[in-house]
């Protein structure tokens, strides 16, 4: 996948792998790096920037570690990030090195760590699109989306063994979909199944079919390896207005939502709501598949429903649902010529807000 994108760029110096938490960005970067020793004979740097944790890794701390690895005595390492970055880049000049910057929170966090020589390549992974690196630094943006259904089944084959998967292919296929085809969720599910060889795939899939339990089931004893924790990191990084919108979208049923429906739920204007919807898209908590029309994964919808139930008072939830129902009723009785002004999601009578 990564080779295909790099082949399209004459001399790539920075590639941003952007995608939802659990989409496999880090694995993709690390696996690709393992096969690039000949291409980058002078070595590789790897740093987890912890951009969505508190506190995130400071660029100066990473630069110090990189400079030490390049043989710079501690006494000669500048305290200024700007000066340390300049020294780092001068030492990389003429070398062919690969720099992997994992979990970048912002373009500003990653920028001082980028090489500035054609022989080097930086791979930056993030839950955000980091458009600043694309615009200012000429980075190539590569979207890392969910696996295909076939790739999800192959992952289960590789982890559980072909015999166990092929014993119930229907359940295996359902498991892939309940996990939103995300590598992290599938690996957690596979780990749970390997720990319980007496469980059938059908039994495990039935547990995940209950959305009240799905996020809880897709967890391990390691708190960092849980889908709920993964979603929380993305949610916590949102602005207060975008986080509030995310919560109220938990009152909207189904995977699709329109900008007008979203604005009605939060009681705001459409233009302002669109800005916050764009922030959710940037965080890969939504995806815009047509102008004003957004889709989200099942686990994102479930998590939003959990957050609104915990963080918003019941009266605020009830008022939001009443506003949405009134808007839907208005849309149904409006003449066809005016319905474009009320456009939104494909919500119909088969889905009723809770």
User: What would the pLDDT profile of 114-166 be if each residue is shown by its tens digit?
Assistant: 998 888 999 999 999 999 999 999 999 999 999 999 999 999 999 999 999 99
Mean pLDDT value of segment 282-305: 96
Which CATH class, in words, describes the domain spanning 237-342? mainly alpha
**2-143: in CATH 3.50.30.50:** no
Nearest residue to 155 (alpha-carbon basis) of 193, 103, 123, 100: 193
What is the pLDDT confidence band of residue 332, given thresholds at 50, 70 and 90?
confident
Q: What is the 3-state secondary structure (H, E, C) of 64-86?
A: HHHHHHCCCCHHHCCCCHHHHHH
What is the pLDDT confidence band of residue 191, given thresholds at 50, 70 and 90?
very high
- Structural domain boundaries in the chain: 2-143, 149-227, 237-342
Average pLDDT, the chain: 91
Q: What is the pLDDT of residues 81-113, one digit of tens each?
A: 999 999 999 999 999 999 999 999 999 999 999
- The residues that bridge with 44 in the sheet, in sequence order, are 98
- Measured CA to CA, the distance from residue 333 to residue 220 in angstroms comes to 50
The pLDDT of residue 348 is 43
Q: Is the pLDDT of residue 346 over 50?
A: no
- β-pair type (293-295, 256-258): antiparallel
Q: Strands (DSSP E) along the chain, which ranges?
A: 14-18, 44-48, 98-102, 121-126, 140-143, 256-258, 287-290, 293-295
What is the pLDDT confidence band of residue 224, given thresholds at 50, 70 and 90?
confident
The pLDDT of residue 97 is 96
| Whether the predicted model's global pTM rises above the 0.85 cut | yes
């Amino acid at each position: 996948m990564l080779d295909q994108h790099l082949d399209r760029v004459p001399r790539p110096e920075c590639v941003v792998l952007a995608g939802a938490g659990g989409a496999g960005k880090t694995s993709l970067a690390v696996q690709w790096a393992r096969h690039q020793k000949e291409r980058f004979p002078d070595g590789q740097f790897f740093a987890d920037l912890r951009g969505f944790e508190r506190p995130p890794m400071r660029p100066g701390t990473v630069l110090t570690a990189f400079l030490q690895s390049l043989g710079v005595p501690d006494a000669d390492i500048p305290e200024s990030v700007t000066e340390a970055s300049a020294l780092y880049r001068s030492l990389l000049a003429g070398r062919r090195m690969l720099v992997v910057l994992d979990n970048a929170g912002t373009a500003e966090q990653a920028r001082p760590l980028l090489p500035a020589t054609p022989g080097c390549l930086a791979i930056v992974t993030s839950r955000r699109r980091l458009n600043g690196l694309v615009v200012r630094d000429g980075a190539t943006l590569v979207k890392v989306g969910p696996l295909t259904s076939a790739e999800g089944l192959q992952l289960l084959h590789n982890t559980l063994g072909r015999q166990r998967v092929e014993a119930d292919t229907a359940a295996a296929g359902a498991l892939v979909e309940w996990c939103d085809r995300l590598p992290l969720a599938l690996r957690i599910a596979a780990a749970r199944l390997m720990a319980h060889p007496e469980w059938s795939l059908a039994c495990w899939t039935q547990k995940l079919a209950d959305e009240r339990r799905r996020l809880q089931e897709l967890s391990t004893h390691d708190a960092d390896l849980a889908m709920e924790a993964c979603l929380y990191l993305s949610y916590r990084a949102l602005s207060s207005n975008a986080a509030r919108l995310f919560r109220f979208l938990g009152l909207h049923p189904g995977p699709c939502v329109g900008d007008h429906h979203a604005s009605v739920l939060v009681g705001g204007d459409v233009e302002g709501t669109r800005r916050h919807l764009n922030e959710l898209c940037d965080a890969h908590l939504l995806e815009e598949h047509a102008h004003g029309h957004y889709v989200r994964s099942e686990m994102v919808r479930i998590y939003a429903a959990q957050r609104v139930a915990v963080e918003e008072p019941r009266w605020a939830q009830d008022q939001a649902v009443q506003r949405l129902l009134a808007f839907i009723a208005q849309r149904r009785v409006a003449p066809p010529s005016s319905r474009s002004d009320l456009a939104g999601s494909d919500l119909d009578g088969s889905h009723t807000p809770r």
